[in-house]
Chain A
Amino acid sequence: MTPAPVWKNPIVRWIDYRLPVFSFIHHQLVDYPTPRNLSYWWNFGSLSGIVLVIMVMTGIVLAMSYTPHVDHAFDSVERIMRDVNYGWLIRYVHMNGASAFFVCVYIHLFRGLYYGSYKAPREILWIVGIVILLTMMATAFMGYVLPWGQMSFWAATVITNLFSAIPLIGEPIVAWLWGGFSIDNPTLNRFFALHYLLPFVILGLVFVHLWALHIHKSNNPVGVETKSAREEIPFHPYYTIKDLFGLGVLLFFFLCFVFFAPNMFVEPDNYIPANPLVTPAHIVPEWYLMPFYAILRAITFDIWFIPAKLIGVIAMFSSIVILMLLPWLDTSPVRSARYRPIYKQVYWIFFADCLVLGYIGASPPEGWYIPIGQIATAYYFGHFLIVMPLLGIFERPLPVPESITAAMGMPKEAGR
């Protein structure tokens, strides 16, 4: 690590001597050594962070005009759309921002899968990332409930009812979650409180995620650690400008949705006020939860004495938890899929499997959709529990370059 610069401004120097915030920023954001060969797929971590900030900012001002009461929630959201200054803009940014957040995070996650970013010594970094994903899902789900439309109400009903699968204490737990005997005002109130709280938990987790990242630094497309200073470039200006450019591209596409197709990801049913007496024909979660919803519904049979409902719930949670075990399930010593010819194929099959699960999650549970969903679910777990461990043993990797510079075809010790 290069030494901190000598601060010229006396006030900065005075503060930095007592609380070295400026040196900290300098080391972690300016000087921070980064592999020089990161591709644009590495943009999505910082992009996710920026979307999180946008979500928190819009969320705070929305909360100022929102009323978490069953009689007023729906109307207060429409009041935001009609009467609050720029309310429609802020709400549409927040609403579509959830989708943008998951797009960025999923690309970020699949990038990690492809380049083996979860392998030693980055296991904790990876696990914290999965915990962030879980927290995001909880936050997104509770946010979806707040407008108190038909989908809000019935999604809340279905998801909270999952906990009734827990043996013996299931029913009391559900009543505890609801604060009553059905989804009602107490439920909406607590969901609002938690929806406001959890993003700050995510911010904390992001800090831990970055902390872990900055210990062993970024992985890279070659998958071998940087070996010399000339394989590294300072984060600023190289990656600050690259991230900002990426942000511009993301915002362009994101705002196309916000301004010209703001309701594309919304079920029309959610513009019908919640009605506890009528269930919509198809209850579907938001697109980013569909693969997990498909896994939940794939289990239609009891195993021994365990009821199907409980197994479904266990399978759904396991499908995320299993990602945390990936650093140990993947037995290959090679990180990057570039040098793993079979894993490269397997990766895309797994990716396709996730898409199939998403498709099934959006379809009604009938006919061929059921067995397809079951096969896709079985493959999902098979990928982690069978394919990944065996692949590390039987796959013959291509020769891995000894360094990033070698992979880039740069002469061994020449300067720039």
Chain B
Amino acid sequence: MSDTTAHAAGHGDDATTRRDFLLYATSSVGAIGVGLSVWPLVDSMNPAADVRALASTEVDLSPIQVGQTITVVWRGKPVFIRHRTADEIKAAGAVNPEDLVDPQLDAVRAAKPEWLIVVGVCTHLGCVPLGYAPSQPKGDFGGWFCPCHGSHYDTSGRIRKGPAPKNLAVPPIVFNGTTVKIG
């Protein structure tokens, strides 16, 4: 562009400098303007205010029996709430975090040891792992098994075997008597 304009104007250095300055100033303001005006279009595809506002779910824990897992929906995703047995708690606590793909202590993941609450989405490619119903396989480590690509999770929802890179996510939770608020 500056080649053509230089040829068109072509009156000595002063004029060239002034024009170049104007060209750069205009192009910069224009580029910033275009950038700023594209942002609203992009941002409109982010979660909207009403979606963000529905971010918490409250669950009554009292009917869940020891050894039972229930599935609730939080932000459109399944969340597993498992009332763990003493054996499961013991198995989860006995693991040395150093040996894990994604090292985490069970005590950190389950503040109240009998309740394990994890997002039921495999950290590999987003399938829902099996193990939430009695008839389903729980994998080699007694937790969950993802049938899509064979990831095995333990009784603390940690990845033990298979392609998944991370443990099942623990959502933000607040216990309040016999209920828990997720999110």
Contact = CB atoms under 8 A, between A and B. Distances in A.
* Physical contact A–B (CB less than 8 Å): yes
Interface of A: 30, 57-58, 61, 64-65, 79, 82-87, 89-90, 234, 236-238, 244
Interface string B37-80: 00111011110111100000000000000000000000000000
Contact of B41 (A30, A58, A238): A58
A236 B41 contact: no
Nearest to A233: B8
A234 B49 CA distance: 49
B48 A84 contact: yes
24 contacts: A58-B41, A61-B41, A61-B44, A61-B45, A64-B45, A65-B44, A82-B49, A82-B50, A83-B48, A83-B49, A83-B51, A84-B48, A85-B44, A85-B49, A86-B40, A86-B41, A87-B48, A89-B40, A90-B40, A90-B41, A236-B1, A237-B4, A238-B8, A244-B30
A236 B30 CA distance: 17
Nearest to B43: A85
A244 B8 CA distance: 18
A65 B30 CA distance: 29
Contact of B44 (A82, A86, A244): A86
Which of A58, A85, A86, A237 is packed against the most chain B CB atoms within 10 Å?
A: A85
Which of B4, B5, B8, B41 is packed against the most chain A CB atoms within 10 Å?
A: B41
Contact of B4 (A65, A84, A234): A234
Given A64-B45, A236-B1, A236-B4, A85 B50 contact: no
Interface in B3-61: 4-5, 8, 30, 39-41, 43-46, 48-51
Chain B contact residues, majority secondary structure? helix
A79 B48 contact: yes
Closest 8 CB pairs of A and B: A86-B40, A83-B49, A83-B50, A83-B48, A85-B43, A84-B48, A61-B44, A61-B41
Interface of B: 1, 4-5, 8, 30, 39-41, 43-46, 48-51
A64 B39 CA distance: 16
A189 to B, nearest CB: 23
Which of B39, B40, B49 is packed against the most chain A CB atoms within 10 Å?
A: B40
Given A234-B4, A236-B1, A237-B1, A86 B43 contact: yes
Contacts of B51: 83
A264 to B, nearest CB: 21
B5 to A, nearest CB: 5
B46 A85 contact: yes
A47 B37 CA distance: 17
Contacts of A61: 41, 44-45
B7 to A, nearest CB: 10
A57 B41 contact: yes
A237 B5 contact: yes
Contacts of A57: 41
B44 A64 contact: yes
Contacts of A64: 44-45
A37 to B, nearest CB: 17
Given A83-B49, A83-B50, A237 B8 contact: yes
Nearest to B1: A237
Contacts of A236: 1, 4
A295 B28 CA distance: 49
Contacts of B46: 85
Contacts of B8: 237-238
Given A57-B41, A90-B41, A85 B48 contact: yes
A208 B45 CA distance: 33
Nearest to B53: A83
Contacts of B44: 61, 64-65, 84-87, 90
A234 B5 CA distance: 11
Contacts of B49: 82-85
B41 A65 contact: no
Contacts of A238: 8
Contacts of A87: 44, 48
